[in-house]
Structure 1
Amino acid sequence: MEIVAEGLAFPEGPVVLADGSVIVVELAAGRVTRCWNGRTEAISDIGGGPNGAAIGPDGALYVCNNGGLDLVKFQNARGPGHEGRIERVDLSSGKVDRLYDRCDGIALEAPNDIVFDADGRMWFTDLGKTHDGIRTASGLFSALPDGSAVTAINRHAVSYNGVGLSPDGVHLYIADTHQARLWRYERKAEEQRPTWVATAPGPVGFDSLAVTAAGNICVATLYDGGITTITPGGQARKLDIPGERYVTNIAFGGADMRDAYITLSTTGRLVKLRWDEPGLELCYNG
Structure 2
Amino acid sequence: MLAPALAASKLFESTQLTPAGEYTIGIEGPAVDRDGNLFVVNLGKPGTIGRVAPKATASEQFAKLPEGSIGNALRIDAAGVMFVADYKKHNIFAIAPGTTEPRLVYHSAEMSQPNDITLARDGTIYASDPNWKARSGRIWRIAKSGDGPMQGTAMTAPRAMGTANGIDLSPDGRTLYVGESNSGEIWSYLIEGDTLTKARLIKTFEPNTIDGLRTDISGRLLVARILKGSIAVLAPDGHVVREITLKANEPTNLAFGGSDGKTVFVTQRQGRFIESFRTDVEGREHCLQTGRC
Please confirm whether the aligned pair reaches a TM-score higher than 0.5, indicating the same fold. Answer: yes
Taking structure 1 as reference, are residues 277 and 44 closer, same or farther at Cα in structure 2, changes over 3 Å only? same
Match of 1:115 in 2: 118
Aligned to 1:174: 178
For residues 23-62 of structure 1, give each alpha carbon's deviation from its aligned partner in whole angstroms, at most 9, with x where no partner exists: 1111852111111302322121115221111113543211
Whether 1:220 and 2:224 are equivalent positions in the alignment is yes
Deviation at 1:91, TM superposition (A): 4.8
Q: Of 97, 101, 104, which aligns to 1:98?
A: 104
Q: How many residues align?
A: 263
The alpha carbon displacement at 1:176 in A equals 1.2
- Inter-partner Cα distance in structure 2 for 1:234 and 1:126: 23
Give structure 1 stretches of 5+ with no counterpart.
68-82
Instruction: Give the match for residue 283 of structure 1.
Output: 288
1:50 aligns with 2:71: yes
Q: What does residue 191 of structure 2 align with?
A: 187
* Structure 1 counterpart of 2:243: 238
Query: Residues 2 and 242 (structure 1 numbering): CA distance in 2 closer, same or farther, change over 3 Å?
Result: closer
* One of 16, 23, 26 as aligned partner of 1:3: 16
Question: Are the equivalent residues in 2 in contact too, given 1:44–1:95 (CA < 8 A)?
Answer: yes
SS of the residue corresponding to residue 115 of structure 2 reads strand
User: 2:93 is matched with which residue?
Assistant: 87
Instruction: Please give the secondary structure, in 2, of the residue aligned with 1:206.
Output: coil
How far 1:171 sits from its partner (Å)? 1.1
Return closer, same or farther for 1:186/1:264 CA change in 2, 3 Å cut-off: same
1:29 aligns with 2:51: no
Mean CA deviation greater in 202-211 or 162-171: 202-211
> What are the superposed Cα offsets for residues 83-106 of structure 1, whole Å, 9 maximum, x if unpaired?
32212223533222222222xxx5
Task: Output the amino acid matched with 2:186.
Answer: L
Counterpart in 2 of 1:248? 252
**Alignment CA distance shift 1:162-1:194 (3 Å):** farther
Structure 2: stretches of 5+ with no match in the other structure: 1-13
In 2, are the aligned partners of 1:258 and 1:276 still within 8 Å (CA)? yes
Question: Aligned-pair distance for 1:190?
Answer: 1.5
Alpha-carbon spacing, 1:56–1:142, altered in 2? closer, same or farther (3 Å): same
Q: Give the distance between the partners of 2:227 and 2:175, measured in 1 at CA.
A: 28
When normalised by structure 2's length, the TM-score is 0.81
TM-score (norm. length: structure 1)? 0.82
Structure 1 residue 269 displacement after superposition: 0.8
Pairing partner for 2:57 from 14, 35, 38: 38
Match of 1:152 in 2: 154
Q: Which has a greater percent of strand?
A: 1
SS in 2 for 1:284: helix
- CA RMSD, Structure 1 to Structure 2 (Å): 2.4
Q: Aligned partner of 1:34: which letter?
A: R
Q: What percent identity do the matched residue pairs reach?
A: 24
The CA deviation string for residues 180-236 of structure 1, in whole angstroms up to 9 with x for no partner, is 111112233323345223333445521111112211111111122211122111212
For 1:238 and 1:200, how far apart are their aligned partners in 2? 15
Distance 2:230 2:115 in 1: 19
Could you report, residue by residue, the CA deviation over 1:214-270 in whole angstroms, capped at 9, with x for unpaired residues? 1111111112221112211121243233642x2111211223322111111231111
Partner of 1:209: 213
